[in-house]
Structure 1
């Protein structure tokens, strides 16, 4: 019977569609990368999601986040994304967690229920905890490295964390994961040398903060405010979604090692 996933079924078959429909994917971080992950996965037929993010849409998100429009500014990202996903597939099952993931609240998340985990958060502490929890439960996970301060979307690629180079966040993650005994981790990263943001106080969040008054994590509290584009985080999110669909439908594949 013809339905909204018929074109995808032509490529992955009915069995593949069924596997996606029965999968529950957790997306930690519904921003520039995570939003495109959600968009592509719900359009691919993934049947259930946990969306984890405590942030609200800001005016400065409009340059890159698929969920950000003038109408959604000031609304919780997880709620906005969930509404958009339900407009694409009314039957999708979505659980919203309006919170910032930390080691202190990690027990609140049913990692054992997830078919796949996407780490699209910004902080090293949260990323490490998500990864370690996923490894402990033997749940497939893919982690997003830095997409900020990049201009060449064609440099984004899938790799094992220990084969990454150039990316400052990946360097920190390699060091921390090696200490924890993690032997492999699939990531999306760019080997582009980061561009140094222009220091222009007239457009800086440092001096012109427009975060909602009740925002829990304001830009002014960040050590660095990276520059961003519409295309680099989007490509990262779509690459992640492609890996997730491939892994769910054909069995988990480790990232290819560089020769």
Structure 2
């Protein structure tokens, strides 16, 4: 860690010492999805001293993102999320090496896209679609990589009901239910997730045409989830927590 970073990470050094800062600076974390959860997660990792970040998202910033996404401002509307996030990371820590890409990941391009980047020490899934999540889980299982996956924050209000668990132990989350079902079909085990055990609020709709997009989101829920995911990974990179088992296929 160079001297010009001494003030930037002074408060962090008090807790993790020079050895911890060095370990973090040599770590690589991949964040897939830079929405409300992923953007706050990436920000926390950058502020936490991670030396190499791989940031991937398919979208551009929209006005509707402003209530919950760390990269969403009036000034960034219309900009590519991956590029905005990379700029934010460099503002936080210019020495962080950032790989960013705007791409829609699916089963056809997941392996070829992600394998082109440096091998991560941890993968954090902040994607909001089931099929892409499953493809990422399959890639992590094939590569024997540790993965943390965010479940749904929509229509939920109480952050105290967030908890980490393996996907088999989740409940009261529709996204987790769908992922759990597909994991059983594909024989995927060892997926650790952050989910909310809170029952979702029912949203009354005036227009049935927006039913598929009727997930309300509080300003604090996705960012808290992102911070919790980052915190779990930082603690494990530092050796404060036992590293979770890698994602795997049953019988392999």
Check whether TM > 0.5: yes
Counterpart of 2:98 (choices 94, 97, 101) is 94
Tell me the distance in 1 between the aligned counterparts of 2:206 and 2:23.
49
The aligned runs of 1:52-131 (5 Å cut-off) are: 52-106=56-110, 107-110=112-115, 113-131=119-137
SS of residue in 1 equivalent to 2:37: helix
Tell me the distance in 2 between the aligned counterparts of 1:41 and 1:51.
11
SS of residue in 2 equivalent to 1:113: coil
SS of residue in 1 equivalent to 2:231: helix
> Aligned residue for 1:253?
243
Please say if residues 29 and 120 of structure 1, whose CA atoms lie closer than 8 Å, have aligned partners that are also in contact.
yes
The aligned runs of 1:223-238 (5 Å cut-off) are: 223-238=212-227
- Which digits, 9 at most, give the CA deviation of each residue in 1:26-71, with x for residues without a partner? 1110000000101100000001111111201111111111111100
Please say if residues 150 and 225 of structure 2, whose CA atoms lie closer than 8 Å, have aligned partners that are also in contact.
yes
Distance 1:112 1:176, change over 3 A: farther
Shift of 1:252: 4.6
Distance 1:52 1:252, change over 3 A: farther
Counterpart of 2:147 (choices 141, 148, 152) is 141
The aligned runs of 1:1-259 (5 Å cut-off) are: 2-106=6-110, 107-110=112-115, 113-201=119-207, 223-250=212-239, 252-254=242-244
SS of residue in 1 equivalent to 2:74: coil
SS of residue in 2 equivalent to 1:25: strand
Unaligned runs of 5+ residues in structure 2 are 246-252
Aligned length: 238
Unaligned runs of 5+ residues in structure 1 are 207-219
Tell me the distance in 1 between the aligned counterparts of 2:79 and 2:214.
21
SS of residue in 1 equivalent to 2:23: helix
TM, length-normalised to structure 1: 0.86
Structural RMSD (CA): 1.9
